[in-house]
Amino acid sequence: MNILVVGSGGREHALCWGIAKSPLCRRLVCTPGNAGISRIAECAAIHADDINGIVGLARRERFDLVVVGPEAPLVAGLVDRLKAEGIKAFGPTARAAELEGSKGFMKDLCARYGIPTAAYGRFDEPDAAKEYIHRHGAPIVVKADGLAAGKGVMVCRNENEAFAAIDHIMIEGAFGAAGNQVIIEDLLLGEEASFFALVHGTQVLPLASAQDHKPAFDGDHGPNTGGMGAYSPAPIVTPEMTEGILSRIVQPTVAALVTEGRPYTGVLYAGVMITRDGPKVLEFNVRFGDPECQPLIMRLKSDLLTALLACVDGRLNELALEWYDDAALVVVMATQGYPGPYAKGSVIRGLDRAGAIDNVTLFHAGTKTANGQVVADGGRVLGVGARGKTIADAQRLAYRAVDLVDWPEGFCRRDIGWRALGR
């Protein structure tokens, strides 16, 4: 089969790595890809947001399946356009992708169908939003309604911070039209976990559990990022917890989407807070998490492409996924300055040495090739992944590989996995 993967991050490198191993895969192309992906797939220089460009390529080159990595093209309707051309696509339609594209839509859906989540208000006027904050008091969480590249959520310790967040989103327009509305919600306390399932309508096949590390620095200090490291499995997600998340959150949500005429196909990612009252949903994403996707795919023993096809074709009930018992852990290396402003173009050395260690896999994110060298081309740049018998083993191996990467302009957290190790 001829497969097209859309995107350029560590997630897409992991997807390409899994798909390339499939006996079903004959040709693999990625738009736009990165330096690491270019070693295992053909890269076509079309941006992931260029819907017309991607549809044109898919039509010309007759791909059998298009796998869409990031949320923006899903929310913009790439899957709808591909389907209209008769091309199979992995990912939800725009109407189903609204689950991530509009936090207000997601919260209202949860409220209508009794899906556990934080109490909230939804506002399109800054004064009314501030009134609500004043009435409820802090701490409180302020969110831009639309897509904001992971930066649209502010956990505010006091009223002034919350007012500043409203001004930032609604008056200064930090996220453009994505901030025309805000969601204000109660702060949930507990431990976070990422829960993934393949979904087709009401068919749900859960994947292995994973845990992310959002803050930039060790000890969970510093600003929130897209994710600085992840591991799988997540010990907090016990079989009973999985059952609870499935029966109280995931199954009711996909059934609600069917009822609302927005049936979901693709991977559904529930960010959940394990609270004292059980799991509550923080957010839904309509794609694989990044970096969580990387350790997940490292642990998948079954053929990834077969699983993606079963999802698109509605045959999830016939599929049983096998996983390695090993743990997998990925340390993200980012350019200094990230998630704030950072420079591009620094040279990264030592990648071949690090990647040559047994059970280590290097996933590229923001990299490109220039004059035969790999250079940094983004905020999050590498995912250094390792498999081991335990999370402690995987962690040791991952940091051994990190230490072979020669990149003075980069940084990483040194404590990825601490929650699991502390259990």
Contact between 291 and 10 (Cβ < 8 Å): yes
Contact between 46 and 66 (Cβ < 8 Å): no
Question: What is the contact mask toward ligand GLY in residues 1 to 40, using x (rule: CB under 6 A)?
Answer: ----------------------------------------
Q: Which helix (H) or strand (E) holds 331?
A: strand 327-335
Taking CB under 6 A as the rule, does residue 379 contact ligand GLY?
Answer: no
To ligand AMP, the closest distance from the beta carbon of 174 in angstroms equals 15
Among ligand GLY, ligand AMP, none, partner that 227 touches (CB below 5 to 8 angstroms by kind): ligand GLY
Site residues for ligand AMP per CB under 6 A:
118, 141, 143, 153, 155, 185, 187-188, 192, 214, 271, 282-283
Site for ligand GLY in 177-236 (CB under 6 A): 212, 226-227
Pairing assessment for the beta strands 27-32 and 2-7 based on DSSP bridges: parallel
Categorise residue 229: left if φ over 0, alpha if ψ from -120 to 50, beta otherwise.
left
Among ligand AMP, ligand GLY, none, partner that 181 touches (CB below 5 to 8 angstroms by kind): none
Scanning 162-170, 175-183, 285-293, 405-413 for contacts with ligand GLY by CB under 6 A, the matching segment is: 285-293
To ligand GLY, the closest distance from the beta carbon of 283 in angstroms equals 8
The per-residue b/e assignment along 291-304, b for 16 or more CB within 10 angstroms, e otherwise, is bbbbbbbbbbeebb
Residue in the shown chain whose Cβ atom is closest to ligand AMP: 283
Residue type, 248: R
To ligand AMP, the closest distance from the beta carbon of 287 in angstroms equals 13
Q: Which of 179, 233, 263, 289 is close enough to bind ligand GLY by CB under 6 A?
A: 289
To ligand AMP, the closest distance from the beta carbon of 190 in angstroms equals 8
Neighbouring CB atoms inside 10 A of 222's CB total 14
| Residue with tokens 């003075």, as numbered in its chain | 408
Q: Give the residue from 380, 374, 399 showing the smallest Cα distance to 388.
A: 399
Chain residues that interact with ligand GLY, rule: CB under 6 A: 150, 212, 226-227, 285, 289-290, 292
